[in-house]
Amino acid sequence: MPRLRLKFPDHGQSAPHVDFSILLIGLLVLAAALFQFRQITEEVNYWSNRVERLEKQQQQKAAPRSRSTLRIREISQEIRKEIIKANAILDQINLPWETLFDSIEHAATEEIALLSLQPNVSGRSLRISGEAKNMSKLLDFVEALERELIFENVHLLNYKIKQDNPHRPIVFFLTATWIGIS
């Protein structure tokens, strides 16, 4: 095998300033790469943290909104119920009481004692309870109510003769429907 001849540079042939320059350039490139890596890592961490904070804020905002939306729905349902009650009260107030009372007073006689009037605004009906001296006066009262222009469908629902009273009055319940009154 032939001998291998390696030539190492002498001190006279070497270029130390080129070697140090290349080494220095390599170190500068390494330092620049590490600096850039550090900046990129910090930027990634910054954006990751910001995304996490924004997601938490969105979750926190979403939860109260759902609670507040639910609360608003509850309040609006309560308001609707109050409006329905207020409309029912207004219907009661706007009932043509004077016309109803005038018609009932016109039909009633001294032999009829009215005990209660119970209007049903939605059904436009009136339930009347009272006492009559005898059956003929009670039937006359029912017929007189039927003849009144604002009443129709006057019906005697129930009657009972009070046996414990010496005058034996008749306790009655009747219903009547009123027609459009203005």
pLDDT value for 101 = 86
Kindly report the pTM of this predicted structure.
0.52
pLDDT attached to residue 181: 58
Residue 131: per-residue pLDDT: 94
Q: What pLDDT sits at residue 13? A: 60
State the 10-residue block means of pLDDT for the chain, 182 residues long: 75 70 93 94 92 87 64 81 85 79 88 90 88 92 91 92 88 89 54
Q: Residue 45: which H helix or E strand, with range?
A: helix 16-93
In this predicted structure, what is the pLDDT of residue 67?
61
- The sheet that has 151-161: what strands, in order across it? 112-120, 125-132, 170-178, 151-161
pLDDT at residue 157, as a whole number: 92
